[in-house]
């Protein structure tokens, strides 16, 4: 495989928010995830210090919260103040204690050093409730909500810059689902009220790569928006614990992802907003979350009342299947790196991405009573956020090896090698993914404006495509080479994610 590139041919500057994350009130992401006052690892505010350390290690730039489907029936006012009244979570059909709310979320972000990104309730919520939330967070002292925040012990505003109006309100699965036309109007009216509270905030709105949905949204509310939010999960979750195998997963790294970005780019261009509005891929993961699909099952015999056994076994017990660490293998690392490379190749438009989620469920960090497990995806974020430079170069490639197979009831062919070249003041950093499960591949990389003299290779890998980490087992990790002369080529081991530094 040959690649040619040069500093004069630039895609754009990659925003660090491409390496962002998402946390929802679902299963063990918040409670027993980042927030666990009963844990021996808990700090004075109840946050797990081992989890905070891991999030700092991957330089988390932004966290989106509190949902996801959860938010579409969430009343934020129950989650602030001294008396936190438990409520029934109609999205996920469990009790929400409300012990973790806005102020705890802001504390979390301040401890990690990342931006808070709040997704508001456009399901059962109103423009007034959304703008009240902005008052609570961002007004210094005017009005009842800022005064409530002060009374709750936060004299300074939280200064939340990033806000999303709604979550997947386009889908029948969502509480408060909307038609395209009503969605555009609700976003417009909500945006007007939120911006009248704080005109400095940046606003996103739930969207999908669909023409009618976007044309309505952008015509009605485009003037108020800075972002458009799209989501993607590609791996099978039909039976939760039997996920797609490695060979199937790498076939998901193809045109589907780039295609959704291309379609949204086309919609923005069609209405002349491609210079104003950026894409926030603010929920993405290879694997959709496994939640027994209670939202749509009305088997009255098993779902009646508050049957303790039903909740223990059928709701919470089923969700614990997300915690099987053997599910998360080098397939997850290879997919995640390929996804981020697609975002980097579109970094002129895709400026934020939130891995969904980052702690537990399908996340990069798994918590247990005695510590944490770093799943393969974790190291992708550590390498990308720590090593890649900010400028993404265009590239010309030829002789790219490919892999074909059968997935989603069709034959798919994807590039076996996925490379993105970045540069900065301190030379180059090349992300290079070898999806091939069996064969190493050598890449010839030529620079139009002078070849670097030395290279250092960082390789994320395990003994097989199905290697994984678990409690008491470490099969997947990063090896760092030494600086060696660069002859214009590097060789990528099978099923590996690599970052090659060049200087």
Cβ at position 471, least distance to ligand AHR in Å: 25
Is residue 306 part of the annotated active site? The answer reads: no
Q: Does 68 bind ligand AHR (CB under 6 A)?
A: yes
33 contributes a contact to ligand AHR by CB under 6 A? no
Residue 67 touches ligand AHR, criterion: CB under 6 A: yes
User: Which residue, 139 or 264, has its beta carbon nearer to ligand AHR?
Assistant: 264
User: Residue written as tokens 């504390």?
Assistant: 107
Residue 222: closest CA among 233, 207, 236: 207
Is residue 418 close enough to count as binding ligand AHR by CB under 6 A? no
| 409: Cβ contacts below 8 Å, ≥ 6 apart | none
C-alpha neighbours within 13 Å on the C-beta side of residue 343: 30
Q: Does 288 bind ligand AHR (CB under 6 A)?
A: yes
C-alpha 330/C-alpha 468 separation (Å) is: 7
20 binds ligand AHR (CB under 6 A): no
Query: Six-digit token pair at 120?
Result: 């508001």
Q: Among the candidate windows 151-159, 218-226, 243-251, 284-292, which touches ligand AHR by CB under 6 A? A: 284-292
Q: Is 283 a catalytic residue?
A: yes
Intra-chain end-to-end CA distance of the chain, in Å: 21
Which listed range, 29-37, 285-293, 332-340, 491-499, lies at the site for ligand AHR (CB under 6 A)?
285-293
Spatial separation of the C-alpha atoms in residues 101 and 84, rounded to whole Å: 9
- Binding to ligand AHR by CB under 6 A, coded x per residue (else -) over 116-155, reads ----------------------------------------
Closer residue to ligand AHR in complex, CB, 20/437: 20
Choice between 22 and 246, CB closer to ligand AHR: 22
**CB of 283: closest distance to ligand AHR in angstroms?**
5
- State how far the Cα of 267 lies from the Cα of 181, in Å rounded to an integer: 16
Using CA atoms, how far residue 192 sits from 81, 116, 188, 423, in Å, is 27, 21, 6, 40
Whether the CB-CB separation of 443 and 3 falls below 8 Å is answered with: yes
Q: What is the largest CA-CA distance in the chain?
A: 72
Judged by CB under 6 A, the chain residues 203 through 242 that form the site for ligand AHR are 231
Kindly name the residue from 135, 168, 174, 220 that is annotated as catalytic: 168
61 is a site residue for ligand AHR (CB under 6 A): no
Residue with tokens 């994984």: 468
Q: Are 110 and 158 in contact (CB under 8 A)?
A: no
Q: Which of 110, 153, 147, 112 is nearest to 132 (CA)?
A: 147
Q: Considering only residues 39, 120, 167, 431, which one is a binding residue for ligand AHR as defined by CB under 6 A?
A: 167
User: Shortest Cβ distance from residue 211 to ligand AHR (Å)?
Assistant: 21
Residues 69-108 that bind ligand AHR (CB under 6 A): 69
Active site residues: 168, 283
Binding site for ligand AHR (CB under 6 A): 24, 67-69, 167-168, 231, 283, 288-289, 291
């Amino acid at each position: 495989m040959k690649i040619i590139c040069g500093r004069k041919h630039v895609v754009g500057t990659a925003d660090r928010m491409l390496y962002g994350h998402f946390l929802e009130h679902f299963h063990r992401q918040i409670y027993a995830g980042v927030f666990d006052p009963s844990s021996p690892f808990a700090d004075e505010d109840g946050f797990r210090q081992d989890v905070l350390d891991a999030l700092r290690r991957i330089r988390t730039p932004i966290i989106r919260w509190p949902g996801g489907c959860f938010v579409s029936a969430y009343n934020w006012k129950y989650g602030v103040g001294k008396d936190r009244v438990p409520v029934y979570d109609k999205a996920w059909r469990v009790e929400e204690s409300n012990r973790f709310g806005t102020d705890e979320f802001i504390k979390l972000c301040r401890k990690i050093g990342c931006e808070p990104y709040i997704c508001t309730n456009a399901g059962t919520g109103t423009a007034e409730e959304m703008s009240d939330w902005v008052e609570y967070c961002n007004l210094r002292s005017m009005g009842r909500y800022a005064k409530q925040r002060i009374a709750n012990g936060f004299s300074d505003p939280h200064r939340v810059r990033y806000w999303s109006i709604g979550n997947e309100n386009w889908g029948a699965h969502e509480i408060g689902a909307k038609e395209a036309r009503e969605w555009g109007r609700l976003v417009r009216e909500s945006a007007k009220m939120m911006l009248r509270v704080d005109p400095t905030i940046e606003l996103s709105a739930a969207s999908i790569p669909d023409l009618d949905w976007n044309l309505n949204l952008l015509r009605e509310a485009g003037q108020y928006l800075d972002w458009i939010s799209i989501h993607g999960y590609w791996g099978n979750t039909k039976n939760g614990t039997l996920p797609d195998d490695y060979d199937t997963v790498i076939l998901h790294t193809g045109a589907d992802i780039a295609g959704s970005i291309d379609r949204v780019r086309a919609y923005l261009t069609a209405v002349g907003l491609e210079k104003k509005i950026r894409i926030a891929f603010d929920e993405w993961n290879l694997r959709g979350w496994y939640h027994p699909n209670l939202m749509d099952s009305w088997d009255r015999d098993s779902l009646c009342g508050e049957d303790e056994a039903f909740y223990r076994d059928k709701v919470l017990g089923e969700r614990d299947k997300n915690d099987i660490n053997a599910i998360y293998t080098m397939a997850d690392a290879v997919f995640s790196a390929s996804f981020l490379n697609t975002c980097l190749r579109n970094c002129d438009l895709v400026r934020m991405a939130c891995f969904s989620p980052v702690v537990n469920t399908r996340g990069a960090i798994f918590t247990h009573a005695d510590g944490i497990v770093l799943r393969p995806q974790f190291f992708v974020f550590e390498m990308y956020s720590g090593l890649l430079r900010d400028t993404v170069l265009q590239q010309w490639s030829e002789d790219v090896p490919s892999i074909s197979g059968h997935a989603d009831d069709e034959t798919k062919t994807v590039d076996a090698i996925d490379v993105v070249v970045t540069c900065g003041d301190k030379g180059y950093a090349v992300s290079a993914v070898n999806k091939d499960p069996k064969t190493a591949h050598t890449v010839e990389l030529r620079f139009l404006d002078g070849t670097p003299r030395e290279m250092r290779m960082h390789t994320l890998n395990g003994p097989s495509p199905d290697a994984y980490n678990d409690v008491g087992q470490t099969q997947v990790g990063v090896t760092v080479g030494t600086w060696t002369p660069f002859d214009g080529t590097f060789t990528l081991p099978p099923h590996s994610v690599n970052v090659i530094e060049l200087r």
